[in-house]
Amino acid sequence: MSDKRDDNICVVCRHEYTSGSGGPGGGGGGGGGHKKWIFAIGRCDHWVCYECCTRMRVLCQQNECPICRQQLNEVVFTAHKQKKFDEFDLKKCLYHNNHGIHFEDDLALESYGKLLEHPCRKCRSRQPLKSLHDLNTHLRKEHDLHLCDLCVKNLKLFTHEIKYYTRKELVRHRKSGDPDERSHRGHPICTFCDERYVDDDDLHLHLRREHFYCHFC
């Protein structure tokens, strides 16, 4: 992405924000539809969509701009991606101190909040659960469905992005991956302690730490 202020593509997720790509809707409420037109702007004046910024700042604990790599202690969530950071009156913005996020209006705050909710996609009429743990319990008891603990722990996903599995599907997912996702071939297992790890890198790290694994052997 260039520094042109009329660019319409988020440099992180490559979603295009144009007049024909859909308006507010979707997001954290269940993963469907178009993304809301809320953007994050830092002191460097580069923008990314609010979903990518929330993923970086909240899930990944990364506060640098993905374009110029400047550390951004504060960002503004706004519907106006053409504005510069200094043009915002931060005193009038709502503020989330934990992650350095200012919200220009209620829509920006609501959009952010929905991303971090824990909705059950099987019973959309009910209110979101209080935590991912509560959702996991609800899925098991009410729907006989399960989450992959390795994916939940290691992948930086919003709750509405996490896949649900039957018992049989979960076993297959852990052993060989999902049929609709060729890039994932299951979670590799340590033959010494019979534990699975999220990927080969994580397994090799475990082997070096716990079993003194030698790459040459």
pLDDT digits (tens, 9 = 90+) for 166-189: 999 999 999 999 998 888 889 999
**Confidence at residue 2, expressed as pLDDT on a 0 to 100 scale:** 40
In a domain, 72, yes or no: yes
Residues 144 and 111 in one domain: no
Q: Do 142 and 206 fall into the same domain?
A: yes
> Under DSSP, is residue 9 helix (H, G, I), strand (E, B) or coil?
strand
**Is residue 13 domain-resident?**
no
User: 110 and 35: one domain?
Assistant: yes
Sign for the pseudo-dihedral over CA of 41, 43, 45, 46: negative
Domain presence at residue 100: yes
Identify the domain containing residue 166 by its residue range.
132-210
As given in the structure block, the two tokens for residue 93 are 């913005």
Pull the structure tokens for residue 3.
């520094």
Whether 167 and 101 share a structural domain: no
Per the CB < 8 A criterion, the answer to whether 99 and 110 are in contact is no
Give, as one character, the DSSP assignment of residue 71.
B
Distance between CA 45 and CA 53 in Å, rounded? Answer: 14
Is residue 216 included in any domain, yes or no? no
Work out the end-to-end distance of the chain between its first and last CA atoms, rounded to an integer number of angstroms.
Answer: 45
pLDDT at 31: 41
Element (H, E) at 50: helix 50-54
Judge if 136 and 95 occupy the same domain: no
Examine residue 56 and state whether it is found in any structural domain, yes or no.
yes
Both 42 and 96 in one domain: the answer is: yes
Q: The tokens of 147 are what?
A: 């989450």
Residue 122 lies in a domain: no
* pTM over cut 0.95: no
Query: DSSP of 160-184, one letter per residue?
Result: GGSPPB-HHHHHHHHHH--TT-TT-
Given strand 47-49, what is the order of strands in its sheet?
Answer: 47-49, 39-42, 75-78, 101-103, 94-96
Digit-by-digit pLDDT tens for the chain (217 residues) are 344 444 789 999 998 886 444 444 444 444 444 445 899 999 999 999 999 999 999 999 999 999 999 999 999 999 999 999 999 999 999 998 789 999 999 999 999 999 999 999 999 778 999 999 999 999 999 999 999 999 999 999 999 999 999 999 999 999 999 998 888 889 999 999 999 999 999 999 998 888 875 666 5
* Inside any domain, residue 168: yes
Are both 98 and 146 inside the same structural domain? no
Query: Are 97 and 45 within one domain?
Result: yes
**111 and 182 share one domain:** no
Do 13 and 51 touch, CB atoms closer than 8 A? yes
Rg, C-alpha atoms of the chain: 20
Last residue of a domain, one of 84, 115, 146: 115
Q: What is the per-residue pLDDT for 63? A: 97
Q: Would you say residue 124 lies in a domain? A: no
Query: Is the domain of 205 the same as that of 170?
Result: yes
Are 137 and 201 in a shared domain? yes
The answer to whether residues 111 and 139 belong to one domain is no
CB 158 within 8 A of CB 132: no
> What integer pLDDT is reported at residue 135 of this predicted model?
97
How high is the pLDDT of residue 213?
A: 55
- CB-based burial of residue 79 (10 Å sphere; 0-12 exposed, 13-18 middle, 19+ buried)? middle
Give the separation between CA 84 and CA 88, rounded to whole angstroms. 7
**Domain final residue, candidates 82, 115, 148:** 115
Structural domains of the chain, count: 2
Residue after which a domain boundary falls, among 59, 87, 115: 115
* Whole-number Å distance between alpha carbons of 200 and 180: 20
